[in-house]
Amino acid sequence: MDFPDRADIGPLIEPQGSPPFARVSYDPPTSTLSDPLSTTRSELNRLALDDLEPGATIAVGVGSRGIHRIADVTAETVSYIEDRGFEPVVVPAMGSHGGATPEGQREILAALGLTEEYVGAPIDARMDVETLDEVDVDGMTTPVYFSTAALEADAVLVINRVKPHTNFTGSLESGLCKMLAVGLGKQRGAQAFHSTALDRGYVPTIESLVPAIRDSVPLLGGLALVENFHEEIGVIEAIDGPSLERREPALLERAREEMATLPVDDIDLLVVDELGKEISGAGMDTNVIGRYRVLNAPDPETPSIDLIYARGLTEATSGNGNGIGLADITRREAVDQLDLKKTYANALTSGSLSKAKLPAVAPDDELALRVALNALGGYDPETARVVWIENTTDLAEFRVSEALLSDLGESVTVLERERLAFDDGTASFE
């Protein structure tokens, strides 16, 4: 596709003066687990492994998110299972991610450090599923699919982070229950789930599917991880299968209190250097940017961000640019990084089509910012409220226009004043 170049766009909008910026650090109070691997072992002791026969196989479901030390926690879980005399096998629990192919899902795990060599167990990435049941979700019949690879094991254990979801709010969001209902349903299960959830609601759909899975699957339970503001593990807790729905809400509330968010709610322009599936299921954490863009789900009340400029994709996302549609403008470099097959596989399965839309495309940073600042209306570099972040998880250090400094609070420290410059249209700070 041919996009307008500088000669096409430049004459349409006069150059804008850039606001003065400050690089700041943000360090709200939080706590980090001192020895997550020791805690992993002690927590796994709480699960009913003694009920299994010696040599039994245990499927360990792991997702596609960039969770702190996920490779280490998975490897420690595998080691623990082997030490107890059982045979572990890692099963990707990520729905349609990776282009809904075994190769793509292995590629995502490898990008997270989860290889057979590192974790010490085989990875069975087959996309095959079995139909376990059909459930009624508020009058809508929904099939329940589950990974064949996981079903072939003698027991199933999932590892996942519990956190606020990027599409909805409720008592159960991202966590062990959703991984069972969606991640281990592979592409067919994820599609069936989202089709129902978009109409009947995400939480009722999860609450209907998990009991059906528990009735048909030898479910040990799961290892729930909660991260703090710095995206480090603050909690590891093993939850047995029967207790999942009862225990997750409290962990979700803990995650909500400590999750990384911006220290200011009223923003004219948010610039995001990179988005990717390992950062968030929506490419950018919707709780940080204040946009769900999902049918039948209102956007978060805060923050209020007028415009978002997404500059590019992470290397680890391997071209899956799902979430770029949450931005208002991007640049040609980001479009060149897109793998539309992977992006569409994700968006079509989830039914959240807006996240795969292409925003306005500028040839470079200078023109992208010129377009964005002009679109704000009545732009004044001295009063413009601009925040510039690397991504929506790394929020310990970022840049703000000076107009925001008085609103940032005691947890924010100014490191240095900076000026925005451009080299052949590419932005840098000096």
- Check which CATH number belongs to the domain holding 65 and give it: 3.40.50.11440
Q: In the listed set 205, 230, 258, which residue is the last one of a domain according to the structure?
A: 258
Q: Lowest mean pLDDT: which of 23-27, 120-124, 246-250, 284-288?
A: 284-288
The verdict on 48 and 176 lying in the same domain is yes
Q: Lowest mean pLDDT: which of 82-91, 150-159, 289-298?
A: 289-298
Q: In the listed set 235, 258, 281, which residue is the last one of a domain according to the structure?
A: 258
Instruction: For residue 137, tell me if it sits in a domain.
Output: yes
Cis peptide before 303 (omega within 30 of 0): yes
The verdict on 423 and 297 lying in the same domain is yes
Cα–Cα distance, 39 to 24 (Å, whole number)? 34
- Show the beta-strand stretches assigned E in 233-345: 233-240, 266-272, 304-310, 329-331
The verdict on 361 and 425 lying in the same domain is yes
Is pLDDT of 298 > 80? no
Judge contact between 99 and 342, C-beta under 8 A.
yes
The verdict on 252 and 268 lying in the same domain is no
The verdict on 94 and 160 lying in the same domain is yes
Higher-scoring residue by pLDDT: 165, 5: 5
The verdict on 323 and 196 lying in the same domain is no
The verdict on 42 and 18 lying in the same domain is no
Percent of the chain clearing pLDDT 90 (strictly above): 81
Which pLDDT band holds residue 296 (cuts at 50, 70, 90)?
A: low
Instruction: For residue 104, tell me if it sits in a domain.
Output: yes
Q: Which of 293, 270, 289, 265 is nearest to 279 (CA)?
A: 289
Is pLDDT of 200 > 80? yes
How many folded domains does the chain comprise? 2
The verdict on 230 and 300 lying in the same domain is no
Model pLDDT, residue 212: 97
Judge contact between 309 and 271, C-beta under 8 A.
yes
Q: Which two tokens stand for residue 77?
A: 């879980």
Instruction: For residue 1, tell me if it sits in a domain.
Output: no
Instruction: For residue 156, tell me if it sits in a domain.
Output: yes
Instruction: For residue 15, tell me if it sits in a domain.
Output: yes
The verdict on 24 and 40 lying in the same domain is no
Instruction: For residue 392, tell me if it sits in a domain.
Output: yes
Judge contact between 285 and 393, C-beta under 8 A.
yes
Instruction: For residue 270, tell me if it sits in a domain.
Output: yes
Q: Which two tokens stand for residue 379?
A: 């732009």
The verdict on 41 and 17 lying in the same domain is no
The verdict on 346 and 245 lying in the same domain is no
Q: How large is the angle between the packed helices 340-350 and 186-200, nearest 10 degrees?
A: 50
Amino acid letter, residue 177: C
Q: Which of 45, 44, 46 is nearest to 60 (CA)?
A: 44
pLDDT tens, 47-59?
999 999 999 999 9
Which structural domain, as residue segments, surrounds residue 42?
A: 36-258
Q: In the listed set 220, 235, 258, which residue is the last one of a domain according to the structure?
A: 258
Q: What is the pTM of this model?
A: 0.75
Instruction: For residue 306, tell me if it sits in a domain.
Output: yes
Burial of 191 (C-beta count, 10 Å sphere; 0-12/13-18/19+) = buried
Q: Which two tokens stand for residue 245?
A: 């729905």
The verdict on 190 and 277 lying in the same domain is no
